[in-house]
Amino acid sequence: MMEQDTEILFNMKVTTDTFVMGLRAPEIVAEARPGQFVMIQTRAGIDPLLRRPFSICGINGDDEFLVLYRVVGRGSAIMSRARKGDVLSVLGPLGRGFDLPQKGQKTLLVAGGIGIAPLIFFAQTNKNTDLVFMAGYSSVSEVVPKEQVGLGNMKVLIATDDGTTGHRGPVTELLESHLAGPCDNTPTVFTCGPLPMLKCIASLTLERGIPCQVSLESAMACGMGACQGCVAKSSSMKSQAYYHVCKDGPVFDVKALDWKNL
Amino acid sequence: MNEKQPDLSIKLGPLKLKNPVLAASGTFGYGKEFSHFVDLNLLGGIIVKGISLKPMAGNPPPRIVETPCGMLNAIGLANVGLDIFLKEKLPWLQKLKTAVIVNIYGHSIDEYGAVAAGLKGVEGISAIEVNISCPNVEKGGMAFGTDPQVSARVTELVLKNSDKPVIVKLSPNVTDIKAVAAAVEKAGAHAISLINTLTGMAIDIDERIPKLANVSGGLSGPAIRPVALFMVYHVVRTVQIPVIGIGGIMDYRDTLEFLIAGAQAIQVGTANFINKKATLDIIEGLGSFCKDQDIERIEEIIGTLKTAKS
């Protein structure tokens, strides 16, 4: 974990409102694990005040990491206007990432919208596993082009709400049909996306006793467990009532969370 | 270079600090969280997350939201409670060579007394900071710190049950902060810190709901600095005991404003979230400023504000 000024290597628009940014940070790259995140100060000064959290979406070589981000507010809008050669302060890598599967273990990746970001990094580092990648979007215009995020050779099953490409309907239907098919090897599900999707996947996997790890999103201030601003309700009455998304997560075992109160 | 380093040490009533820069409660965890970035022994002191008698889970999320040049928080005073603090957090803090100040709060006046009593005789605690901004359950949730008499009663009880210097942290959400400051001074407080956060809210216009689950929260960050500075300016002119300035301090220049206004020391809060080394950067900046201005001791700056009114 470090806090450093990093140079922007590129900042490229990949859909109407989604960008990929490459940043040079060898020390962060050396430590980064799939599921971890960084906090970026979108520009110097006090407005916007807080850093913004972004999943690490991949690494290139030993000195460059990528973030995939959607423009949703002021911070990300400012970031989208940054140029190659500009310098941004980055804190990271932060948080607890995915527990990676054993070699040969059947692995299902389920992404919803921009939630694909940490799963791209996951897929890149797990090329040997028996892996199926499913990604849901609202429409074809939102589909992140594979070749621009280092997934050129990977098969990604797409679902769109409006049916403009791939399966018409939620990506959870793709997951359901996978789970319904014959299986000699219990899969593990790794997922990230909007909360309603995560809730659906939690109930699908909990009902079937299928292991599942979810990556949660939250607004954050400090990113390292000091401010206690980002919390998610724990399923356990005995241990702590709330987890810190930044430090205990952002990746959680599906069983650790109280899904009714998220 | 044989140039003499400026002396940054300051006195805070009975306390002597290496420098006037303290990490504010609630923004620095229990210290350990920041030890990866900051050599804590270089700080004037650290004020740990507020401790109550029993553990508190805190408020449901969302607990934080950014606002212009600031942020609102409604953490709900989440903390591990007195027993776990003493068993699990304090041993690590006791090894530090900096002032460790324990922030305490209660839901009733008696609870303040009980937490103070629980810290009595414990080694490695330099002082107690009393948070009087939390809701008083016995008085329908009105904050203790809004009433000068109640503030004085809390201060008296903590002093009675404690063997350590007592700092009272004032709420800015009052009509006349000078009255509260005077009351806690009269009650025997060794020092006053101010300001705690200003109450505020933010609304999601699409959903038409408050952005915080708790509806309201405490505003911090540079947005509140001018308000904090003016309150410090008033309070140092009201009381004789030392004052610690808090409110949106991001760098050494902000710090100097508070020192010139008359604060003996300052606390760095929200800045820690953005720049993990904000406290150290401030200490370094103060040293350079003193050198550049040929100031040998930082204490020479304190309270040197020139105004036509003064």
Contact A229 B66 (CB under 8 A): no
Task: Name every chain A residue with its beta carbon within 8 A of the beta carbon of B64.
Answer: 219-221, 227, 229-230
Task: Indicate the residue of B34, B60, B274 with minimum beta-carbon distance to A50.
Answer: B274
- CA gyration radius for chain B? 19
**CA nearest to B55 within chain A:** A240
Catalytic residue among B40, B102, B134, B271: B134
* CATH number for the domain running over A107-215: 3.40.50.80
Q: Which of A36-45, A101-110, B161-170 has the lowest mean pLDDT?
A: A101-110
Over the stretch A148-206, which tens digit does the pLDDT of each residue have? Answer: 898 888 899 999 999 999 999 999 999 999 988 776 678 999 999 999 999 999 999 99
**CA nearest to B78 within chain A:** A228
Over the stretch B101-142, which tens digit does the pLDDT of each residue have? Answer: 999 999 999 999 999 999 999 999 999 999 998 877 777 667
3-state per-residue secondary structure call for B147-215:
CHHHHHHHHHHHHHCCCCCEEEECCCCCCCHHHHHHHHHHCCCCEEEECCCEEEECEECCCCEECCCCC
Q: Residues near A123 by Cβ (< 8 Å), separated by ≥ 6? A: A109, A131, A133, A151, A154
The dihedral built from the CA positions of residue A259, A250, A55 and A100, taken in this order, carries a sign that is: negative
| Conformation bin of residue B264: beta by default, left when phi > 0, alpha when psi is -120 to 50 | alpha
Chain A residues 182-241 with CB within 8 Å of chain B: 218-233, 240-241
Contact B203, B147 (CB under 8 A): no
Contact A226 B68 (CB under 8 A): no
Q: Please determine whether the domains at A2-94 and A107-215 fall in the same fold group of CATH.
A: no
Indicate the helix (H) or strand (E) that contains B231.
helix B225-236
Domain at A2-94: CATH architecture: Beta Barrel (2.40)
State the best of B64, B77, B103, B214 to mutate against chain A, taking most chain A CBs within 10 Å. Answer: B64
DSSP state of B85: I
Over the stretch A26-79, which tens digit does the pLDDT of each residue have? Answer: 999 999 999 999 999 999 999 999 999 999 999 999 999 999 999 999 999 999
**CA nearest to B272 within chain A:** A222
Q: How far off is chain A from B3, nearest CA to CA, in Å?
A: 31
**CA nearest to B27 within chain A:** A227
Over the stretch B24-40, which tens digit does the pLDDT of each residue have? Answer: 999 999 999 999 999 99
pTM summary value: 0.95
State the best of A1, A3, A46, A195 to mutate against chain B, taking most chain B CBs within 10 Å. Answer: A46
Q: How far off is chain B from A195, nearest CA to CA, in Å?
A: 14
pLDDT of A210 > 70? The answer is yes
Determine the pLDDT at residue A238. 63
| pLDDT band per the 50, 70, 90 thresholds, residue A236 | confident
Of A64, A75, A37, A68, which Cα lies nearest the Cα of A53?
A37
Domains in chain B (CATH in brackets) are 10-300 (3.20.20.70)
Distance of CA A145 to the CA centre of its chain: 16
- Amino acid found at B67: T
The token pair that represents B238 in the structure block:
């009201």
Determine the pLDDT at residue A151. 86
Determine the pLDDT at residue A103. 81
Using DSSP's 3-state secondary structure scheme, residue A243 falls into strand
Task: Name every chain B residue with its beta carbon within 8 A of the beta carbon of A226.
Answer: 27-29, 33-34, 272-273
**CA nearest to A232 within chain B:** B61
**pLDDT more than 90, % of chain A:** 84
* Beta strand pairing call for A18-24 and B209-210: unpaired
The residue to which tokens 């809008």 are assigned: A77
| pLDDT band per the 50, 70, 90 thresholds, residue A213 | very high
Determine the pLDDT at residue A152. 82
Over the stretch B54-70, which tens digit does the pLDDT of each residue have? Answer: 999 999 999 999 999 99
Task: Indicate the residue of A3, A46, A233 with minimum beta-carbon distance to B276.
Answer: A3
Contact A187, A108 (CB under 8 A): yes
Determine the pLDDT at residue A186. 86
Contact A51 B273 (CB under 8 A): yes
DSSP one-letter string for A184-223:
SS--EEEEES-HHHHHHHHHHHHHHT--EEEE-----SSS
Determine the pLDDT at residue A240. 67
Over the stretch B250-274, which tens digit does the pLDDT of each residue have? Answer: 999 999 999 999 999 999 999 999 9
Contact A227 B277 (CB under 8 A): no
Q: Is B134 a catalytic residue?
A: yes
Contact B69 A41 (CB under 8 A): no
**pLDDT more than 70, % of chain B:** 97
| pLDDT band per the 50, 70, 90 thresholds, residue B305 | very high
Task: Indicate the residue of A3, A227, A242 with minimum beta-carbon distance to B37.
Answer: A3
- Amino acid found at A66: L
**Other residues' Cβ atoms within 10 Å of the Cβ of residue A179:** 16
Contact B272 A226 (CB under 8 A): yes
Task: Name every chain B residue with its beta carbon within 8 A of the beta carbon of A260.
Answer: none
- Distance in Å from the first CA to the final CA of chain A: 28
Determine the pLDDT at residue B142. 76
Domain ranges of chain A: 2-94, 107-215
Indicate the helix (H) or strand (E) that contains A20.
strand A18-24
Determine the pLDDT at residue B309. 67
Contact B107, B51 (CB under 8 A): no
Task: Indicate the residue of A51, A231, A240 with minimum beta-carbon distance to B274.
Answer: A51
Determine the pLDDT at residue A76. 96
Q: How far is residue B145's CA from residue B190's CA, in Å, rounded to a whole number?
A: 17
Over the stretch B1-15, which tens digit does the pLDDT of each residue have? Answer: 446 899 999 999 999
Determine the pLDDT at residue A119. 97
Task: Name every chain B residue with its beta carbon within 8 A of the beta carbon of A223.
Answer: 273
Of A253, A242, A176, A187, which Cα lies nearest the Cα of A214?
A253
Contact A49 B270 (CB under 8 A): yes
